[in-house]
Structure 1
């Protein structure tokens, strides 16, 4: 069986400027593989393989490389060391904006995002109403995206991304923004996607959600992969380390 995702010796380092911000060139171009003064490794020597249909929970404190890993899998960030091989399309839900265009309306953004992911125009037309209803934006279809609230943006992003036919779904903390009613709908939709055999990468600090959706966990600390095991074992180790700190 061909792996859905294969990561070998992955390393990414960033350079901070005087204000502590990440340098743009370091985000999108591998400069030197040797760390220099003022640089830090967001990920270093990380290796693992994910089989189709696996549900992976990524665990760790803030700033330990979880979101960076998802961006590498999504292809929006290039590694300085190692490689990331992804076999199949990716549906990324890794930040609020999610690639939507502020001046375009909700309707135009749905057509744009679905089209960019390869959905045919007639298929978008068949699924459009369902996306809008799921996002609860029936009255805002002609509203520019930039005028939506954060909650509305999350609903729209999840609705569109979860309707894509890509085999790999990336979810990074965004569900924490929605209200309980919408989160319940999202959880049901994730259950449906997993039942279809999709591969899930799930970043969350919600232990209950991780145990519900994921069977395997990756524990990252200071950019290193500390433990790759069943999700319960990973969460127990993470909780023990957190208590020790």
Structure 2
């Protein structure tokens, strides 16, 4: 029996409306099932599903229903208050894509830093370095401090580093909505190549064209819960119906 690439069981996470940050250290030690405070709300609750290796899943829902939060829980960026996330392999996260880079370091040093933080060995970084720079179209900026790059350059660099990771699970959150068309097209082709090599895709987007390009199955989040898990077209139709959007 093949183990799922991603298994989510009874997942729940809550946030505070009136305090910066989700939970304090004291809260963490108090236990996940303590009584909720009046200023807290559940961003997600009772969410369960599995993703098989090689599947491409699109996550659909209105703003504020927990799509990006779910992706961060799967990535391990956030800790759940309830339930568990099980991963069969590492993740390549294309979420908050330019986070973690250091402004005063050069492009060269940032590539080594970010690739190393994602677990890539120094020898592997050196082997892939030229390819990362070429894909990012930054050959003339290798020694330039990161803070002096344009926003488009920063996005290209971040995508190029993460796309070189050989982790089996690819997490994507709206990253394809930024950058110029030529680079987006190059990103599409790169993702196609990764999926063709058997990667698993967990994709959050409002762009239905992108969802249809990459995904066959959809998860619909509504009222901070998993409202539907079905073929993508059925999920999009349900989302449109709930949103009052006319469809052909």
Please classify the TM superposition score into its range, dividing by the shorter chain length.
over 0.9
Aligned residue in 1 for 2:103: 102
| Kept after mapping to 2: 8 A contact 1:27/1:78 | no
Q: Which moved more, 1:92-101 or 1:70-79?
A: 92-101
Question: For 1:183-219, what per-residue CA distance to the aligned partner results, in whole angstroms no more than 9, with x for missing partners?
Answer: 0000000000000000111111110110110011111
What are the within-5 Å matches in structure 2 for residues 1-245 of structure 1?
1-17=2-18, 22-25=20-23, 30=28, 32-33=32-33, 34-243=35-244
For residues 206 and 177 of structure 1, the distance between their equivalents in structure 2, rounded to whole angstroms, comes to: 12
For residues 27 and 58 of structure 1, the distance between their equivalents in structure 2, rounded to whole angstroms, comes to: 31
For residues 21 and 137 of structure 2, the distance between their equivalents in structure 1, rounded to whole angstroms, comes to: 38
The change in CA–CA distance for 1:29 and 1:90 in structure 2 (over 3 A counts) is farther
For residues 203 and 27 of structure 1, the distance between their equivalents in structure 2, rounded to whole angstroms, comes to: 30
Q: TM-score, normalised by structure 1?
A: 0.93
How big is the shift at 1:98? 3.2
How big is the shift at 1:120? 2.2
Q: Which moved more, 1:234-243 or 1:196-205?
A: 234-243
For residues 82 and 235 of structure 1, the distance between their equivalents in structure 2, rounded to whole angstroms, comes to: 27
Q: Which moved more, 1:22-31 or 1:216-225?
A: 22-31
Q: Which moved more, 1:26-35 or 1:143-152?
A: 26-35
Q: Which moved more, 1:213-222 or 1:122-131?
A: 122-131
| Kept after mapping to 2: 8 A contact 1:217/1:228 | yes
What SS is found at the alignment partner of 1:25?
Answer: coil
What SS is found at the alignment partner of 1:43?
Answer: strand
How big is the shift at 1:116? 2.2
For residues 28 and 63 of structure 1, the distance between their equivalents in structure 2, rounded to whole angstroms, comes to: 27
| Kept after mapping to 2: 8 A contact 1:29/1:78 | no
Segments ≥4 residues shifted beyond 3 Å: 26-32
Q: What are the ranges of 5 or more consecutive residues in structure 2 without an aligned counterpart?
A: none
For residues 88 and 163 of structure 1, the distance between their equivalents in structure 2, rounded to whole angstroms, comes to: 16
The change in CA–CA distance for 1:27 and 1:58 in structure 2 (over 3 A counts) is farther
Aligned residues: 242
How big is the shift at 1:28? 11
For residues 245 and 168 of structure 2, the distance between their equivalents in structure 1, rounded to whole angstroms, comes to: 38
Q: Which moved more, 1:73-82 or 1:133-142?
A: 133-142
Q: What are the ranges of 5 or more consecutive residues in structure 1 without an aligned counterpart?
A: none
| Kept after mapping to 1: 8 A contact 2:97/2:159 | no
Cα-Cα RMSD: 1.9
Q: Which moved more, 1:108-117 or 1:37-46?
A: 108-117
Q: TM-score, normalised by structure 2?
A: 0.92
